[in-house]
Amino acid sequence: MRIFNQAIFMGEGHIAPYFEGWYFRMVSGNGRSISVIPGISLCKNDSHCFVQLLDSNGLIIYKRYPLSDFEYSRDRFLIKIGENSFSDEGLRINIKGEDSAFGRVVFNDRVRYPKSIWSPGIMGPLSYFPMLECRHEVICVKSKVCGGLALNGEDIDLSGGSGYIEKDWGVSFPEKYLWTQSSGFLNHDASFMLAAAIVPLMGKKINGLIAYLYENNRFHTFTTYGCARVHSMKYCGDALEIVVRSPRQELTVSILRGADSPLKAPLAGDMKRVITESCDDTIKVELRDKNRTIFSDTATESATEICRDMIVLH
């Protein structure tokens, strides 16, 4: 069933407004971060497909392609946009123009988010709800990467680094949301992602939360449908501190942000909204179960997006 393979293209037969985008994040062994976002935008006057690229050294590329250049497999996650191809096994990039990107990256030893009938994806039972504004899925929690990219002629070796893949699809990104992710912890082989948003659902607006910490081959999850909630979100000095509580555990995340870069994002299917992402953040994650600390570590080269006045959520 497609609901258990949400990495594949879900937009077959959809009409405007609609968007679907996949997010590949790669961090080299020496801390260079590159995000590549292929996607499709269906809207009233400007439907197209695209490849968007963000480099921690400041390069930003948004390459447009006609819809006729978008190809996909119905059976597995494989999409092609022009001379670029993407799957859960990696990507090939060939972007020409004033700014250029070329190369191949392979994702090995991929860790997948667990699935069940109750939870066919990271959105859990909400995966079955029709007419959601935006859906989210984690395709690859973490992986080892090999290969590299040439950005404007600069060769970047990504071998020995880490990889991550997720996707979003629907009509629009949430009006207010926070998202952060990292696999670059200093003392643990771990991966972390947290997304909190004001979500319209059945005529109401709710505080939505999906988060996981993967460490020691275990997943610790914090979700709205699992009775977790954001207890507080506020600045403590220069760092944004988020405290999340579930019936059994408490998760504290402290984010020290780096430089912001603009990214295009969907609004009613149209890639006309501008958000910002910082991709060289430092985050500290602490997980406690009652009075016992299960995990505490700092991650560098983390990525964060904060939109509108999301910090008021508490």
pLDDT single digits (tens) 44-55: 999 999 999 999
pLDDT single digits (tens) 191-249: 999 999 998 877 788 899 999 999 999 999 999 999 999 999 998 888 999 999 999 99
Q: Which among 85, 206, 65, 88 is positioned nearest to 139, based on CA atoms?
A: 88
CB 47 within 8 A of CB 16: yes
Q: Which among 219, 277, 238 is positioned nearest to 33, based on CA atoms?
A: 277
**What is the pLDDT at residue 308?**
60
Lowest mean pLDDT, pick from 108-122, 148-162, 224-238, 300-314 = 300-314
**Predicted structure pTM score:** 0.96
Q: Which among 246, 198, 248 is positioned nearest to 225, based on CA atoms?
A: 246
- DSSP assigned state of 126: G
Judged by DSSP in three states, 186 sits in coil
| pLDDT tops 80 at residue 179 | yes
**What is the pLDDT at residue 265?**
96
**What is the pLDDT at residue 272?**
96
**What is the pLDDT at residue 314?**
42
| pLDDT tops 50 at residue 109 | yes
Q: How far apart are CA 113 and CA 271, in angstroms?
A: 28
Judged by DSSP in three states, 2 sits in helix
pLDDT single digits (tens) 66-80: 999 999 999 999 999
